[in-house]
Amino acid sequence: MSSENKKKEGIVPEPSLRRMPCYLAYLKLAKRRSQEYVSSTHIARDMGVDPTQVTKDLSYTSIVGKTRVGYEVNTLIDVLEDFLGFRKLDKAYLFGAGSLGNALLHDHGLDQYGLKIVAAFDIDPKVVGKTIEGVPILHVSEFEKMKDENIEVGILTVPAEFAQDVAQQMAEGGIKGIWNFTPIRIRLGDNCVVQDTSLYAHLAVMFNRMNSIKK
């Protein structure tokens, strides 16, 4: 009975997962202020969200809070980082060293969150052979030869028209998780996860909300 109460194979709702890094950031600031415990009530008040949502979100991890005290800051940070996969360092390949790919190569924050880009692939002879921020740019054909490496994450930043094809190659090459920055919806078998992160989609939401408050 202890393992049947989790519905749907214990899948964690995406909204909850997306909120967790926010809690983590908040907790790190709390730690800096030498707080030993934080209650869900305080987290909620400071962040402007619903208190029960905080406890519900955190309940997906292994943490348990103490009544009338809250959660221990240090252990909650540890538990969250572990749960979110920010502890172990995954190596990643970048596909498409154009403008956006280039941009990601400049962001060293990724390292702190468990992702390290070890090589990039492109077809443009103007960039192949170069090194950006210490990461070598190879020709896509080289990817074939590197299949045996223990690399499961691929970042997709190619132009839209190549997105589906390249994604397919990635999956065939053993990539298990594709971080898709193109606005194209990738269709693959279900042994490969696709995470869409279209910056422009977020921009669209912001523009729309700005117009809404204007009138």
Partner DNA sequence: ATTTATTAATGAATATTTTCTTTAATCGAA
Partner DNA sequence: TTCGATTAAAGAAAATATTCATTAATAAAT
Q: Which is nearer to DNA, 13 or 159 (CB)?
A: 13
Q: Which is nearer to DNA, 63 or 188 (CB)?
A: 63
State the nearest-atom distance from the C-beta of 200 to DNA, in Å: 18
Q: Which of 21, 59, 50, 55 is nearest to 38 (CA)?
A: 55
Q: Which of 175, 165, 209 is nearest to 195 (CA)?
A: 175
For residues 129 and 103, is the Cβ–Cβ distance under 8 A? no
Could you give the C-alpha distances from 110 to 47, 90, 103, 115, in angstroms and in order? 24, 10, 12, 5
State the nearest-atom distance from the C-beta of 102 to its own copies, in Å: 5
State the nearest-atom distance from the C-beta of 18 to its own copies, in Å: 4
99 binds, among its own copies, DNA, none (CB under 5 to 8 A by kind): its own copies
Q: Which is nearer to its own copies, 14 or 67 (CB)?
A: 14
Please give the helix or strand (H or E) that residue 93 lies within, else none: strand 90-95
Please give the helix or strand (H or E) that residue 178 lies within, else none: strand 177-180
Q: Which is nearer to DNA, 55 or 102 (CB)?
A: 55
Q: Which is nearer to its own copies, 114 or 136 (CB)?
A: 114
Binding site for DNA (CB under 7 A): 13-16, 39-42, 49-53, 55-56, 58-59, 63-71
17 binds, among its own copies, DNA, none (CB under 5 to 8 A by kind): its own copies
122 binds, among DNA, its own copies, none (CB under 5 to 8 A by kind): none
Four-residue CA torsion sign, 213, 25, 99, 160: negative
